[in-house]
Each structure stands twice: as structure tokens, then as C-alpha cells.
Amino acid sequence: MTKVEELTQGVLSGDVRSIARAITIIENNAPEAKKLVSSIYPHTGKAHIIGFTGAGGAGKSTLIEKIVREYRRNGKTVGVVAVDPTSPFTGGAFLGDRIRMQELSTDPGVFIRSMASRNYPGGIARATKDAVKVLDAAGKDIVIVETVGAGQSEVEIIKVAQTVVVIHAPGLGDEIQAIKAGIMEIADIFVVNKADRENASKTAMDIQAILQLNNKETAWKPPVLKTAALTGEGVPQLIEKIEEHRLLLEKGLKHKRSREKAEAELIEAIKEKVVSSVLEDLRKEGKFEQLVGKIVEREIDPATAAEKLLKKALKDAEA
């Protein structure tokens, strides 16, 4: 048996060590990564993938911990991928989300993996979507992705998750502004966490108000829920809503979403492939370096340089 076959078998049987190793291989983009993903891919598509995003300090990890517990009570197995930011200066990362869910570690029905963003934009890591596939193939009923939570527009999650939950909390300052920009459109469910704080209702109303501005006719109107992660208040209701959303997806929306997701992934894969192979060729011929020099000297602008380079490369590709 090859290493990839062995790992695939391990993953499919739910072996923890195989799952962990498979994710590492994907994360490091090791030589066997591509083969591994393609060999587990046929076994995916069963899990419900839920993304959690929102600004830091909103209590995402604590809430996720409570949600996982609730799913476990309902007899579901759960995988979690928690993404933390990589420092652009040192390349290092401190993976701290796990701490809030640490007690779940010894539950055999739960697998938690921390992941550094490794400077991938949009709040997740490049390897996140494939790590999710590993957990899906390993038979987890629910796969949860927690985004970086740096308060940026973390919209990449839409390409990974089927249901996106945006978490907010009162007293985080002007993040309603941030919600308006970008995140609003990707949310399937809004959660105002720390509901025990004053202003929680006001925050919820603010979000409702913004949502009402968007009066497009849609099959799903994103609800605004209140939770208190510390006590677990509101968690069963949140899970109910997630389930409702899942059922709606099943009924038809899913097909649309799946197609959208597949399309996005395919485009991404093409981009990656094209860029890396074209770049490799260009570098080989030395033309690339030459043009970089010219751009520095202001002899040519980057866009024209790219056009010039690609004209030839694309012709070659056609041939």
C-alpha cells in the first residue's frame, strides 16, 4: 500500500493519527498532498460545514465550545478547524483558540485542529478547505470552521462553509460598520453573543435594521439570535436555526450553493495551477527578472509587463 492509500484508509476509518497527519501533509503542501486530497474527495460531501466568523473578543471560541457540547448531546460527531493569524513579520503563530475548547479534546467524538493562516487572506488558511474535507471524509457529522477573527473582512469562509454564522457582541466598538462592509452579505445567521450585557438588545436591533435595508426577496432571511457563551444560553436555539438552514439547503438551495462552491474552488485551483506553471516557465527563461528590473527603473509599468510576458506564455500553452 502506498503512503497515500494508507492514510486515506486511516482517515476513512476515523483514525485520529491519520486524520492529524493528513491535515499536516495538506497544510505543508507536501509532495503527496494533491494525491491525498483527490483520493479522499469521493468520500466527502456528507458533513454539514458551518463557518463561524466575527471580530475578536466576540467570544467565538467559547461559543463554539458550547455548540460542540450541544451537538455531542444530540449524538453528532464534530470536527473543528480553528484558524489563527500568522505574524507577517516572523512567520510564527500562536494558536490559542483550542484552549477554550481544550476539555473536549479527550472526547473521541470530537477532533480539534488549530491552523495558522500562513498569510492566506480572508480569515482562513489555504489548507482550511482541504482540512475540512479530511474531517468530512473521516465521518464527522458536523465540521466547524472558526476564522481568524481579526476584524477584517473575512469573507473567504463562504467558499468553505455551507452555513455561515457571524458572531458579534455588544461593546466591541464600531464593528457594526465592519459588519456592513462585506460580512453582512455572507451571513446566514447572526449571533449577538454576551447577551447578558446591557446593550445586547440594541446591538441585535441595529443588525436587524441593517438587514431590513436589504429587501431582496430571498428564500432565507438571516435571523438574529442572542446567546451567552459563558452559560450556554441560546445555544440550542442557534443549533435549531443552523439545522433549519441545512434543511433548506437540502431542499434546493444546496444544489445552488454546492455549484457555487465548486465553481469557486475550481477557479481557485486553476489560478493556482496557471500562476505556478507560468511563473516557473518565465523564471526559467530569465525574462521575468529582466522585466522586474525594468519596472523598478520605471521603463515599463507592471500591467504592460504582465501582458507582454503572458502573450508568449499563453501562446505556448495553446500550442
Q: Cβ 208 to another protein, closest distance in Å?
A: 27
Residue in the structure block whose three cell numbers are 446593550? 199
Q: Cβ 89 to another protein, closest distance in Å?
A: 9
Residue choice 94, 247, 289, 312 for contact with another protein (CB under 8 A): 94
Q: Which is nearer to another protein, 115 or 189 (CB)?
A: 115
Task: Classify 192 as helix, strand or coil.
Answer: strand
Q: Cβ 273 to another protein, closest distance in Å?
A: 9
With binding defined as CB under 8 A, does residue 5 bind another protein? no
Give the number of residues in contact with another protein, rule: CB under 8 A.
Answer: 39
C-alpha–C-alpha distance, residues 212 and 190, integer Å: 13
With binding defined as CB under 8 A, does residue 278 bind another protein? no
| Sole window of 95-103, 153-161, 198-206, 260-268 interacting with another protein (rule: CB under 8 A) | 95-103
With binding defined as CB under 8 A, does residue 116 bind another protein? yes
| Sole window of 27-35, 136-144, 214-222, 256-264 interacting with another protein (rule: CB under 8 A) | 27-35
User: How many degrees, rounded to 5, is the angle at CA 231 between CA 168 and CA 195?
Assistant: 35
| Sole window of 24-32, 259-267, 283-291, 301-309 interacting with another protein (rule: CB under 8 A) | 24-32
- Residue 11 sits at φ, ψ, to 5 deg, of -60, -50
Could you count the other beta carbons within 10 Å of the beta carbon of residue 220?
13
Q: Which is nearer to another protein, 24 or 237 (CB)?
A: 24
What are the residues whose beta carbons fall under 8 Å from the beta carbon of 86, sequence distance 6 or more? 92, 93, 116, 117, 118, 119
DSSP string, 26-87: HHTT-TTHHHHHHHHGGG-S-SEEEEEEE-TTS-HHHHHHHHHHHHHHTT--EEEEEEEPBP
Question: Where on the chain is the footprint of another protein (CB under 8 A)?
Answer: 16-17, 19-21, 23-24, 28-31, 57, 62, 86-87, 90-96, 98-100, 102-103, 105-106, 111-114, 116, 118, 230-231, 272, 276
